[in-house]
Amino acid sequence: MSLTQTTAQQRTLFVRAGASGDGSSWAAALGSLSEALQQAHRGDQIWVAEGTYRPGHERTATFHIPAGVAVYGGFAGTENALDQRNPDAHPTILSGEIGQPGIEDNVYSVVTIGAADADTRLDGFVIAHGNAFDKGDDGDPHRCGGGLYVDGSKGAARPVIAHCVFRNNTARVGGAVYLNGRRGTCEPLFVHCRFEGNKAGVDGGAVFTDARDGGSAKPVFRFCHFEENEATYGGALVNAAGNGECMVTAEQTAFHHNMALAKGGAIYDVNASRRCRTQLTDCIFERNLPDDHSEVFMGYSSMNRQLYRLDRGKE
């Protein structure tokens, strides 16, 4: 079956900020992305016009992407084909900024995804201002993944995240993204995504990949960009295996100006069981701090490092 035939059989729901329709067309668009997500079923697509969308009024509110649903942003609100959209010209922002100005009362995780296959897709959004900084146990969504929490602990999670920008999210662990493979499987694909200005109080300024408790976590980052992310360990990425298996792959991905206060300006591998591996192909590392030449890439496991350019520390 061709892609055109498959798409023709899918229901498409249309969302535009301020609208009040039933979602059947741009002219009759829904005004709420949350409502569209509640209505969507496997095989459906949701097209979201430019504007800023918030998941609700409580800190626990989130945009939860159902399994098998593809959600696309970057539309002006007139398109009739996916290839007509332009996310750069028509930014569609999923924001955790609710309540009072400042981050203290922002939502914990702007977007969440549970057990899901590769038909589950988030594409063309800016995800910003999530704040998961509460105290709690490892894996607690109140302290992990301010922008996106992918939970594979209760079933395999293999969503596709494409053409998204994760900006100014905070958490204790995984400032922008937390990938939970503990006691389960978490294998998302990130394509053409940017991670900018995210912060973690402890581990993984942009992303924390967690395969502990016998789990499996194997994310792939392809054509991605990490810039000005910050944490105590792993300015951009922290990867943890424990007694599980953690394999992180980055292909043609750039790491610029990320900072760790302790170790791993760009990447830090926690390899208590020697089952944590990172594979890099044609990646760029530039001015990640600390500038000690042994800590721009910090890991305790064997790496397949094929680096396009490596420029550590300050110029």
Residue 291 has pLDDT above 90, yes or no: no
Helix (H) or strand (E) holding 3: helix 3-8
Per DSSP, the three-state class of 210 is strand
Fold of 3-311: Pectate Lyase C-like (2.160.20)
Q: Is 250 exposed, middle or buried (0-12, 13-18, 19+ CB in 10 A)?
A: buried
Residue 310 has pLDDT above 80, yes or no: no
Residue 155 has pLDDT above 80, yes or no: yes
Average pLDDT over residues 95-114: 95
Average pLDDT over residues 169-183: 98
Residue 313 backbone class (left: φ over 0; alpha: ψ -120 to 50; beta: rest): left
Confidence category of residue 315, pLDDT binned at 50, 70, 90: very low
CB 15 within 8 A of CB 49: yes
- Per-residue CA distances from 156 to 79, 159, 216, 221, 248 (Å): 34, 9, 9, 18, 16
Instruction: Report the C-alpha gap between 164 and 242 in whole angstroms.
Output: 30
Q: Domain limits of the chain?
A: 3-311
**Predicted confidence (pLDDT) per residue in 24-55, tens digit:** 999 999 999 999 999 999 999 999 999 999 99
Residue 297 has pLDDT above 60, yes or no: no
**Predicted confidence (pLDDT) per residue in 219-259, tens digit:** 999 999 999 999 999 999 999 998 899 999 999 999 999 99
Average pLDDT over residues 197-214: 97
Q: What is the predicted pLDDT for the residue at 294? A: 40
- Per-residue CA distances from 188 to 42, 43, 150, 278, 286 (Å): 18, 18, 8, 15, 26
Per DSSP, the three-state class of 144 is strand
Q: What is the predicted pLDDT for the residue at 9? A: 62
Q: What is the predicted pLDDT for the residue at 138? A: 83
| Phi, psi of 30, deg, nearest 5 | -70, 150
Residue 62 has pLDDT above 90, yes or no: yes
Q: Which residues contact 227 (CB under 8 A, 6 or more apart)?
A: 194, 195, 196, 197, 254, 255, 256, 257, 258
Q: What is the predicted pLDDT for the residue at 136? A: 84
Residue 4 has pLDDT above 90, yes or no: no
Average pLDDT over residues 204-221: 97
Q: What is the predicted pLDDT for the residue at 312? A: 45
Q: Quote the mean pLDDT of the chain.
A: 90
CB 18 within 8 A of CB 31: yes
